Chain A
Amino acid sequence: MVAVNHGHPMTSDVVSLDRVDEIRGLTLDGDVVRIGGAATWTLIADEPVRSTVPALAQAARTVGSPQIRNAGTIGGNIATASPAGDSLGVLAALDATVEVRSASRTRLMAIPDVIIGPKVTSLEADELIVAVHVPVVRGWQSYAKVGVRNAMVIATVGVATVVNEEARSVSFGLTSVGPTPLRCPDAEVAACEAFWTLDGTPRTPTARDIGHIAELVMEGAQPIDDHRSSVEYRRHSVGVLAARHLRTAARTLREQ
């Protein structure tokens, strides 16, 4: 729409999906939330996502403004594949599955299989994102974002952290510090060892553990210099947000 407003006329026919209710809503089905590809951020920022997948609701609330959140959709975020897409780090950290459909087939795809480069996806021209399947994880999770102001801002850096008590795993999903949303395998192994002993007993990570894990998250980032920020600032911010998440997660889980 923005391109049309700026004088690029539509060159082909357009099909509006506004009235396809099947892809606009969301349903909670046991331990998975099925979010329609055309579900808006306003819908995702509210219940039941807020209490079942809080990191995703937090990411939704940081998108644009009320006007943008009433129009923008999670399917649009995925298909745009911007390195700064607010939901993408969260979906990567949660191992969400994208349900892609064409007239002839349905594919269930992991986020890294859909988003293969900056603004590049592996979707075919005849395919549509009909839903995103997001697991409901017991434990702690959050999304934090750095931008130049509070509102209407594109992420300079975004970090999603998920502590999964059932699987005894920790995952990080980074936004705006790489060509695609990034996971941090080394940091995730270290975090797992910091939150549980080898026999699976929960423990509380020490300050030293958290410092070490944050370093590994910083190493996992692949930031670039651009008009929005610098390599140094982005790498530093990733470490700050990851450490903050780990401290809050450790405190919250200990107090439970």
Chain B
Amino acid sequence: MRKPYQLHVNGQTLDVLDPVPGESLMTVLRERLGLRGTKTACSEGECGSCSVLVDGELMCSCLVMAAAVTDRAITTVEGLGDDGISDIQRAFVECGAVQCGFCTPGLIVAAHALLDRHPDATTDTVREELAGNLCRCTGYGRIIDAIHSVAIARRGGRP
């Protein structure tokens, strides 16, 4: 059966036409809805490049069956930030936390989830919460710096 369904992505309701049974949210976002900020890499939940928020919870979209989340609010990297770019995205640029950039969208989504749950995160917490996002370029140092700089800014500059 290939019954069309709808997904709620970044505040919009979008039609998924002619779906394939059992296909992942990652595939639907990229190939059917054209939201290519969500990256495909390992397709088995190891690397975090496809991270999205499902009702605010961080998930690997490759491990979520798209047709199972028709009643959930999905947020992709394109939907973060009130007008275009979020404070975390800006901090990644300013701190030099981006090299090849392939892991960056997943890390940005994970960083949003992290600071929502742990606004006062220590470096240990940041490392533990980013454990599901692999970056092979940066060594993570500047990514952690970027997240701390946002945490401090959100607290009004209090370190």
Chain A residues near B (Cβ < 8 Å): 1-2, 4-6, 9-10, 13-14, 16, 18-19, 42, 64-68, 70-71, 150-152
Contacts and interface: CB of A to CB of B under 8 A. Distances in A.
Contacts, number: 80
24 contacts: A1-B24, A2-B62, A4-B22, A5-B24, A5-B27, A5-B43, A6-B44, A9-B20, A9-B21, A9-B22, A14-B22, A14-B65, A64-B45, A65-B131, A66-B58, A66-B132, A67-B48, A67-B59, A68-B63, A70-B57, A71-B64, A150-B131, A151-B128, A152-B46
A200 to B, nearest CB: 42
Q: Which of B68, B110, B127 has the most CB of A within 10 A?
A: B68
Contacts of B29: none
B44 A2 contact: yes
B78 interface: no
Q: Which of A10, A64, A70 has the most CB of B within 10 A?
A: A70
A176 B90 CA distance: 44
A5 B59 contact: no
A7 B48 CA distance: 20
Contacts of B133: 65
A142 B142 CA distance: 35
Contacts of A65: 48, 131-133
Contacts of B132: 64-68, 151-152
Contacts of B63: 1-2, 67-68, 71
Contacts of A14: 21-22, 65
Interface string B116-138: 00000000000111011100000
Interface string B38-71: 0000011110100100000111101111011101
B84 to A, nearest CB: 25
B74 interface: no
Nearest to A6: B43
Interface of B: 1, 20-24, 26-27, 43-46, 48, 51, 57-60, 62-65, 67-69, 71, 110, 113-114, 127-129, 131-133
Q: Is the interface of A mostly helix, strand, loop or mixed?
A: loop
A66 B45 contact: no
Nearest first, the 9 A-B pairs at minimum CB distance are A65-B132, A151-B131, A10-B22, A16-B68, A5-B43, A67-B132, A2-B44, A65-B131, A67-B60
A13 B22 CA distance: 9
Contacts of A151: 127-128, 131-132
A83 B48 CA distance: 25
A150 B130 CA distance: 12
A1 B131 contact: no
Given A5-B62, A66-B58, 17 more contacts: A1-B24, A2-B44, A4-B23, A5-B27, A9-B21, A16-B67, A18-B69, A19-B71, A65-B131, A66-B110, A66-B114, A66-B129, A66-B132, A67-B51, A71-B60, A71-B63, A71-B64
Q: Which of B45, B51, B57, B129 has the most CB of A within 10 A?
A: B45
Contacts of B71: 19
A5 B60 contact: no
B48 A16 contact: no
Contacts of B44: 2, 5-6
Contact of A2 (B45, B48, B51, B58): B45
